[in-house]
Amino acid sequence: MRTLRDRLIGGWILESFTSRTPSGRTIYPMGQGVSGRILYTANGQVGVSLMEADRPRPNPSTRMDLLADADAAPLSRTYMAYAGAFRVDEQSHIVTHDFELCLDPALIGTLQQRQITFHTDDYLELKVPDYQLDRFRAPMSLLWRRA
């Protein structure tokens, strides 16, 4: 039987990113059209990119690093990326991501845990049971399809 770690290895495409308010209403932290990729490598590295749909781009021919700060700020708020090492606790079904690189500097050096659930070999759910949203803490779920 393959380990959870073995089953994670490869590329995954985001199907949904949801959370629930304390009243039970489903919300979409990065919008319903969010797209994303996650890649787990056999040598223990993970890379993640998440992007809201319809990101504003005032001048598509200008590179982001050349945009005025006022134009660049919304782009960074609608994108999340990080990379680093990962490890799996097979008993508790937890994967820990070590944020070695991250768009948000406040998260660099943190360890972020996700509960692993395989619905099939090609559908992976990663859950955070207690995530800080705007005004409350709530569970968060990311559903991934094998690429």
**Residue 124: its pLDDT value, please?**
98
Average pLDDT over residues 121-142: 87
| Cα–Cα distance measured from residue 56 to residue 97, given in angstroms and rounded to the nearest whole number | 29
> For position 104, what pLDDT does the model report?
94
The mean pLDDT of 83-112, rounded to a whole number, is 97
Q: What span, in angstroms and rounded, lies between the C-alpha atoms of 16 and 35?
A: 8
pLDDT at position 74, please?
A: 85
pLDDT tens per residue, range 7-31: 999 999 999 999 988 888 899 999 9
Rounded Cα distance between 111 and 136, Å, is 21
Q: Say which residues have a Cβ less than 8 Å from residue 72's Cβ, sequence separation at least 6.
A: 64, 65
Tell me the mean pLDDT in the region 80-102. 98
Which domains does the chain possess?
A: 4-146 (2.40.128.280)
pTM, to two decimals: 0.91
